[in-house]
């Protein structure tokens, strides 16, 4: 078992929650067709063209039995002064793994994911609407010659500090412990910051 697999077993329930160390908010992690994915996206904020693109990409991947995919995840919650809604969904990109050993020449294809994020303050002011976040959003951290090997593996709310909201974003090579662990910060005014954080693995 590799280190990432061990981490996954230990934190499976936690990584499906919207918020670290908080009661589980409304979430549907078992959506299995494009119609349900469309229904998960807030209609009042999303454009028709973006809905159609999400549904089309996901439908293509759902119909391809040779691609390993993650189930879509939806989160709607209120944390501090922020109303938060996001959906994590396949984005049509595919990552092909390299052979692990000479005796194991089979490559496996995995879907990549995008997060579509909506943020409001509790007074109703819109901070972000239909903002797409994917691995390319972190090109300032992940080297250009490596980024195509990686997948957006996990996205969840981390904490609120005064007027700033922070997310954990894990960008990993599928089925390995090769990851960039990133803290994404968004202020009440919509200012975005990001930094790589050190991950301490337990043996």
| Percent of all residues in the chain with a pLDDT value above 90, rounded to a whole number | 42
Q: Are the C-beta atoms of 37 and 58 separated by less than 8 Å? A: yes
Confidence of residue 144 (pLDDT cuts 50, 70, 90): very high
Nearest CA-CA partner of 172 in 145, 152, 187, 142: 152
Q: Residue 197: pLDDT above 80?
A: yes
CA distances from 69 to 171, 173, 182 (A): 15, 14, 22
Q: Residue 40: its pLDDT value, please?
A: 42
Per residue in 162-171, is it b (16+ CB within 10 Å) or e — as a string?
eebbebbbbb
Mean pLDDT to the nearest integer, 183-201:
90
Q: Residue 156: its pLDDT value, please?
A: 95
Question: Each residue of 68-95: pLDDT tens digit?
Answer: 888 888 899 999 889 999 989 888 889 9
Question: Each residue of 3-49: pLDDT tens digit?
Answer: 343 333 233 333 344 655 433 333 333 333 333 334 444 444 444 45
Backbone angles phi, psi at 189, to 5 degrees: -95, 0
Question: Does the global pTM surpass 0.75?
Answer: no
Confidence of residue 62 (pLDDT cuts 50, 70, 90): low
Q: Tell the residue number behind the tokens 């918020």, with chain if given.
A: 19
Confidence of residue 176 (pLDDT cuts 50, 70, 90): confident
Q: Are the C-beta atoms of 188 and 124 separated by less than 8 Å? A: no
Confidence of residue 130 (pLDDT cuts 50, 70, 90): confident
Q: Which domains, ranges and CATH numbers included, belong to the chain? A: 3-196 (2.40.128.510)
């Amino acid at each position: 078992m590799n280190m990432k697999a061990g981490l996954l077993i230990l934190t499976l329930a936690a990584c499906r929650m919207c918020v670290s160390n908080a009661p589980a908010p409304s979430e549907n992690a078992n959506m299995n067709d494009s119609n349900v994915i469309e229904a998960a996206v807030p209609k009042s904020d999303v454009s028709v063209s973006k809905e159609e693109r999400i549904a089309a990409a996901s439908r293509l991947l759902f119909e391809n039995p040779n691609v390993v995919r993650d189930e879509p995840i939806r989160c709607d919650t209120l944390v501090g002064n922020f109303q938060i809604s996001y959906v994590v969904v396949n984005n049509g990109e595919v990552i092909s793994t390299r052979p692990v050993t000479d005796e194991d020449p089979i490559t496996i294809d995995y879907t990549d994911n995008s997060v579509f994020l909506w943020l409001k303050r509790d007074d109703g002011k819109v901070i972000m609407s239909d903002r797409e976040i994917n691995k390319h959003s972190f090109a300032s951290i992940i080297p250009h010659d490596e980024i195509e090997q990686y997948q957006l593996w996990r996205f969840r709310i981390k904490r609120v500090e005064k007027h700033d909201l922070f997310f954990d974003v894990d960008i990993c090579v599928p089925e390995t412990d090769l990851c960039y662990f990133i803290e994404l910060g968004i202020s009440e005014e919509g200012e975005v910051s990001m930094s790589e954080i050190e991950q301490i693995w337990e043996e």
